A = this chain, B = another copy of it.
């Protein structure tokens, strides 16, 4: 019996009823709201705003004091009820952190309004890119829920990169009487804040603050509390602006809270608002040095019996100057100042008010298109745990792990320290695993290739595995990463196949070729298709001697190289790559196959080098094969061996609990959790000091293996791995929207997208005008999301036929690969209009290429 039966069939395959969290599960939730490369604010499980990471660096645990929303409602002549729109603070109540007069030993954080009456309970539905907090309070005369999001529209990177967090409050009057309702949001003016450390300006002045200006700005259809500074200048790193805005017309604005001492301003705010549902106007001159002001923006409405309304607020920000805060100061200008550049978003908007106006003018479309993506993805018959894995990790694209450089180039850290990126440079080996960007924003993914092959390649073909900034800086001279360098070739291949842009490939090809052939300089001088010598890799150490982790990457790169070379007419190269591939394959099978899986043959100039795996069963040891499946290159090694090896990874490395696991390394799974070890030694031979992460559990590897298991047909096992990861991120144990490894929002977890491509058996060959599906789920009816560089939508199959819906963009196709059974289908149509259809094996061939526009469906019946 497979260990996969640890989970029930329902747990693995169930579609559930949405991804809903409640009670203790609200504790760890922080759901990122922001654009690509804009930083983000997170929505907590309680409905509060936490982790203000909008100041051009991560900022975990940061609180913008007094930034909370409060509702007042008065039913008929009854006394009004006022509630902060957050569920109760959760234990412990001792205070957190070590700030003076505010950390542990000073009680519950009060700046978020936790001392005021709040809603009694909340449930959190988190289906990225949409989050919904349903509040409940028996005394509140209206029902209220919050839907929060930021525009996330695959293929539209710019509209998915708006520095805005949207909070839509749904209010309904279930009673028979008219209810007056008022919702107020507050925001502290943080302009001048440096981006790290505490943001409090109440006790103790803060350098940078002062001359802060809060102003009420009313446009047609838009009211904003605008926050600026007269002190910080546009060349300074902390320059910027923010707004709290609403398109709700009736309401009020108090530009500044009472300037008093002690807790005066909180008293003044609550006493006025809870009495009247409004706040009087108050204008001050710019703030004194080191200090700032809080302001409030309110929306008022009257709801008759049974009436409801959506009251939208949004926070927009604009901090244009990105400072390279890490690494050595390296600036051509010979200055000791750190390099700076402009965020890409700052090239689109001039200020937060400009952002707010753009959002307001496009709000309806942006919400509709974001929701369309959500609905298309979730209108899937994929298991709930897979949708959870796929959607939640797409949030990394809205997290501070990613940047967009001034020219629009996409850039990624590996993950996030609490106050800085960790680690720099769109790391080639970590980003090998990440697939989400490639499938949702292929243009951004290609910009990673462009940057690497343009700026990060030395003359000999050595690619720095960390792109240096500012863009154009010299490549890093450390060892190339064997996995990162070879993975790059596979990524070029994938990105070309997803877009069909031959010019793009042709332009990169000479440098791609050089990067591939660097293997012969560094790792395979003999060109026998097997890497030897020092192979630096994603475990931050070097493997010595032949192994299939590097080996399959290398074989995959050779095959991808062969394909690309042949396509571009570089037949000599194609034949060479093929020859080296065949040689390598043969040697691997001969030297490394142990009858169940492939081992490492440790060969080194050192005696017994540290940090190897030798006879171990390495979870990543088939990684190149996974990538080959993903991009349609097929088997790199003996199929039976590959299947055995993939299954062996699950059998040996997946633990259904960790009680007996002795791990001296980092702890990512423990106690009663489930997870996949990086390595185990089922046949003995564990080195005294095996490679440094061998006893750990990494989500990104788990998704890679899960996807590969599914590609090989081990669906139960693959889903068990996925379920294990997500069960560890249940809101109690960890934040569902933060799978961390070496830091938060770790990019490797975007391997989760490959679980979707595996389950749907999605293939793509756009140079040929072809996509395809070969579902691994054996359900009669299957729906799955799909995407290319041109469009995204939903693929469905049932006994009667298949449907390819385009929800966004337009997809031009000549061919559609389908499972064998579909060969019986004889008619194709788009929007009722017949399309000529023939079959080439299992591939439907259209008489001429067809274009399916957004909203249209191609049916085969």
Q: Do A60 and B98 have beta carbons less than 8 Å apart?
A: yes
Known A93-B733, A418-B105, A671-B89: A664·B744 in contact at CB below 8 Å:
no
Q: Which residues of B contact A270 (CB under 8 A)?
A: 662, 664
Contact with B along A256-300 (1 / 0, CB 8 A): 000010111011111100100000000000000000000000000
Q: Do A271 and B688 have beta carbons less than 8 Å apart?
A: yes
Please provide the chain A residues from 74 to 125 with a CB less than 8 Å away from any CB of chain B in the complex: 82, 88-89, 91-95, 97-98, 100-101, 103-110, 114-117, 120
Known A61-B98, A419-B98: A263·B116 in contact at CB below 8 Å:
no
Q: Is A692 an interface residue (CB 8 A)?
A: yes
Interchain nearest-CB distance for A616 vs B (Å): 15
Task: Specify the main secondary structure of chain A where it touches its partner.
Answer: loop
Q: Do B733 and A92 have beta carbons less than 8 Å apart?
A: yes
Interchain nearest-CB distance for A392 vs B (Å): 14
Q: Is A665 an interface residue (CB 8 A)?
A: yes
Contact with B along A687-720 (1 / 0, CB 8 A): 0110010010000000000000000000000000
- Per assembly, the copies of the chain total 2
Q: Is A659 an interface residue (CB 8 A)?
A: yes
Q: Which of A309-317, A334-342, A734-742 lines the interface with chain B?
A: A734-742
Q: Do B738 and A94 have beta carbons less than 8 Å apart?
A: yes
Interchain nearest-CB distance for A420 vs B (Å): 8
Known A105-B60, A107-B740, A418-B104: A93·B661 in contact at CB below 8 Å:
no
A710 to B92, CA, bound (A): 31
- Closest partner residue, chain B, to A116 (CB atom): B662
Chain A interface size, as a band, is 35 or more
Q: Which residues of B contact A661 (CB under 8 A)?
A: 115, 117
Q: Is A301 an interface residue (CB 8 A)?
A: no
Contact with B along A717-738 (1 / 0, CB 8 A): 0000000000010001111001
Q: Do B416 and A105 have beta carbons less than 8 Å apart?
A: yes
Q: Is A635 an interface residue (CB 8 A)?
A: no
Q: Do B117 and A659 have beta carbons less than 8 Å apart?
A: yes
Q: Measuring CB to CB, which residues of chain A are less than 8 angstroms from any residue of chain B?
A: 27-28, 60-61, 82, 88-89, 91-95, 97-98, 100-101, 103-110, 114-117, 120, 260, 262-264, 266-271, 274, 415-420, 422, 610-611, 659-668, 670-671, 688-689, 692, 695, 728, 732-735, 738, 740, 742-746
Q: Which 10 interchain pairs have the tightest Cβ spacing?
A: A266-B664, A98-B418, A105-B744, A115-B663, A108-B667, A105-B740, A262-B692, A105-B743, A115-B667, A107-B667
Give me 4 other A-B pairs in contact (C-beta within 8 A), A97-B418, A264-B610 excluded. A89-B670, A92-B734, A93-B733, A101-B417
Task: Provide 18 A-B residue pairs closer than 8 Å at the C-beta atoms, listed in order of the A residue.
Answer: A61-B98, A61-B104, A91-B733, A93-B670, A93-B733, A95-B740, A101-B422, A107-B666, A107-B667, A110-B663, A115-B661, A115-B662, A115-B667, A116-B663, A120-B659, A263-B692, A264-B610, A267-B688
